[in-house]
């Protein structure tokens, strides 16, 4: 990998490039309140973050990325529309078997602008596309908004839809729930006995933090879920068609438009996808040459809720993405204390970009 001085120089070059495009440079504290991230993502983030105790912040984390603190800064009083850029290290625990660094530089570009979301998506993507494709990187893209809309439109209970939505970013868990809710997998072992006629009654002493009333309420909720109608095979097939979709953007739009006939809930998201394709073409980027995957973005941090993208070196499949990004409108609502603004952005890893350039030199 390149030495640290070279990485800092490359990060400064990218930062200057984004500033030249009109972005305002911002900073983010290395130490971030853990409560904010845990509220957003749940305890899953803890396994990937470095935590500590701070006398002012309480439980704190070394920043795992910049997006959350930049959104917090903007929602606390930033002007709109706004464009920001930043550079610095992020910290994420890694699997030792992957031999990847737990700290590395990110350089980012974020747009807060609700006037034309398709135009903003294409602006951010083109920034990265024009900088990275000359290096030989391949772009991949997806749209989590389509999958989210498909789940919200299922003819099933709100409880089941909430469970599926909560686990969209955990593909194996999502699949297990979908199989159970559609009758393709049996009820979890032991639950059938628990939900029997006498399942809610227990004369034994209650052990643990939950009282008997809470236990009874949980069992009643499980009974109601067990008696709910199954998700139909047709709806499961439509979801699977979205999840398994791998096409160019242009062909993907055709396929998704066809699916929207039988799943009207995704039609608004598909219309946004079409507008994005048109906006990219207006910037000179041909959607026929861009890859699209229905499942793309499901293993990223969980704030993306629309267009998502990444850039990869096909000659180095051992490397993580050189750049990633996407739309995160819901995050601004969660951090905006009653207000929100559509937002989209992305980050580049200068260390990986340098490594690939050096290998091709």
231-259 mean pLDDT: 97
Look over the chain and give the mean of its residue pLDDT values, rounded to a whole number.
Answer: 88
The residue-averaged pLDDT of 261-275 equals: 98
Helix (H, G, I), strand (E, B) or coil at 139: strand
Please determine, for residue 40, whether its predicted confidence score (pLDDT) is greater than 80: no
Mean pLDDT over 224-239 rounds to 88
Give the predicted TM-score (pTM) of the model. 0.88
* 112 and 22 belong to one structural domain: yes
Residues 79 and 110 in one domain: yes
Domain range for residue 106? 4-28+63-137+313-360
Does 200 share its domain with 172?
no
The answer to the question of residue 57 being in a domain is no
The answer to whether residues 248 and 161 belong to one domain is yes
Confidence of residue 200 (pLDDT cuts 50, 70, 90): very low
Reply yes or no on whether the pLDDT at 36 is more than 70: yes
Strand order, beta sheet including 291-293:
24-25, 82-91, 103-112, 343-348, 323-327, 307-312, 138-143, 291-293, 246-248
E strand or H helix that includes residue 37? helix 34-41
- Of the two residues 220 and 185, the one the predictor is more confident about is 185
Q: Is the pLDDT of residue 46 over 90?
A: no
Say yes or no: 149 and 270 in one domain: yes
Residue 58 lies in a domain: no
| Pair (151, 130) in one structural domain | no
Are residues 128 and 69 both part of a single domain?
A: yes
If one compares 63 and 191, the residue with the highest pLDDT of the two is 63
Do 139 and 151 form a contact (C-beta atoms < 8 A)?
Answer: no
Count of domains forming the chain: 3
Answer yes or no: do 224 and 240 share one domain: no
The pLDDT tens digits for 96-151 are: 656 678 899 999 999 999 999 999 999 999 999 999 999 999 999 999 999 999 99
CATH number at residue 328: 3.30.930.10
pLDDT value, residue 98: 62
The answer to whether residues 70 and 9 belong to one domain is yes
């Amino acid at each position: 990998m390149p030495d640290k001085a070279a990485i800092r120089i490359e990060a400064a070059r990218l930062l200057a490039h984004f500033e030249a495009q009109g972005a305002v440079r911002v900073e983010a504290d290395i130490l971030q309140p853990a409560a904010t991230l845990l509220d957003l993502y749940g305890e899953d983030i803890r396994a990937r973050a470095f935590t500590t105790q701070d006398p002012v912040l309480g439980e704190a984390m070394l920043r795992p990325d910049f997006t959350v603190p930049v959104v917090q800064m903007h929602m606390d009083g930033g002007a709109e529309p706004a464009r920001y850029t930043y550079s610095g290290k992020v910290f994420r625990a890694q699997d030792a078997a992957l031999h990847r660094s737990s700290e590395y530089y990110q350089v980012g570009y974020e747009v807060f602008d609700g006037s034309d979301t398709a135009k903003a998506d294409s602006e951010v993507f083109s920034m990265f596309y024009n900088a990275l494709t000359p290096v030989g990187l391949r772009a991949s893209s997806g749209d989590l908004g389509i999958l989210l809309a498909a789940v919200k439109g299922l003819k099933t209970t709100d409880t089941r839809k909430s469970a599926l939505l909560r686990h969209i970013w955990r593909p194996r868990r999502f699949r297990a729930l979908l199989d159970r809710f559609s009758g393709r997998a049996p009820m979890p072992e032991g639950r059938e006995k628990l939900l029997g006629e006498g399942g809610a009654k227990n004369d034994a002493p209650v052990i643990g933090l939950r009282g008997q009333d809470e236990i009874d309420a949980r069992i009643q909720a499980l009974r109601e879920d067990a008696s709910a109608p199954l998700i139909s095979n047709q709806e499961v097939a439509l979801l699977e068609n979205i999840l398994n979709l791998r096409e160019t953007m242009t062909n993907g739009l055709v396929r998704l438009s066809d699916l929207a006939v039988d799943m009207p809930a995704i039609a608004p998201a598909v219309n946004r996808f079409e507008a994005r394709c048109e906006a990219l073409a207006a910037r000179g980027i041909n959607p026929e040459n861009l890859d699209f995957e229905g499942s793309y973005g499901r293993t990223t941090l969980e704030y993306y809720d629309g267009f998502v993208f990444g850039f990869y070196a096909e000659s180095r499949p051992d490397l993580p993405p050189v750049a990633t990004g996407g739309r995160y409108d819901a995050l601004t609502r969660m951090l905006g204390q009653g207000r929100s603004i559509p937002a989209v952005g992305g980050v580049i890893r200068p260390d990986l970009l340098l490594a690939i350039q050096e290998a091709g030199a």
